[in-house]
Amino acid sequence: MSFKGLGVKTDNNPQAFRAKVSIRRNVLEAIGADRSVFDAFAGAGEMYSAVWKDAAFYTGCDQKPQRDGRLMFCADNRRVLRTIDLAPFSIFDLDGYGSPWVQAIIIADRRRVAPGELLGLVLTEGAGLSYKANIVPEAIAVLTGLRTGESSGCRKSRTR
């Protein structure tokens, strides 16, 4: 989660930690621990240690090198998600600092879901303060059809 404008950025806000673990535990139980997890913002692996280590298969991704023995891509997750075969993965964890929607769009576009198949998508939306400041992440503007002028408050100033 990020606290833009407050100068505080944390990988796992202590106040949210239990809820984040609990959500992921629920998803793993619903989808099945015999399935494969793609952890797109894998970081230091707190969610891995708390939950994803219990999945049968795990692949992480982080742009910062992590040297703890997990199977990891060290790269921008947008490039990896656009490139690799996503079919083997049944759970995607998008636990970034900001908005997870670019990555979510790539997954929605590339991961076909068969009728009756279960797919888990866990999102951390860290753009809350941006929304309060009337700034909408670009991917949300595209998804909702908002024009950036409207989302950044320019429309208001034009009508004055």
- Tell the smallest beta-carbon distance from residue 11 to ligand SAM (Å): 4
Q: Which stretch binds ligand SAM (CB under 6 A): 22-30, 76-84, 132-140, 143-151?
A: 76-84
List, in sequence order, the alpha helices (H) in 4-57: 14-31, 46-50
Which among 130, 122, 98 is positioned nearest to 38, based on CA atoms?
Answer: 122
Sheet containing strand 72-74, strands side by side: 72-74, 57-62, 36-39, 91-94, 120-123
Among 5, 8, 11, 18, binds ligand SAM (CB under 6 A): 11
Residues in the chain: 160
Nearer to ligand SAM, 63 or 134 (CB): 63
Among 29, 33, 53, 63, binds ligand SAM (CB under 6 A): 63
Contact positions with ligand SAM (CB under 6 A) in 90-119: 95-97
Spatial distance between the Cα atoms of 55 and 52, rounded to a whole number of angstroms: 5
77 is a site residue for ligand SAM (CB under 6 A) = yes
Contacts to ligand SAM by CB under 6 A: 11-12, 41-47, 61-64, 76-78, 95-97
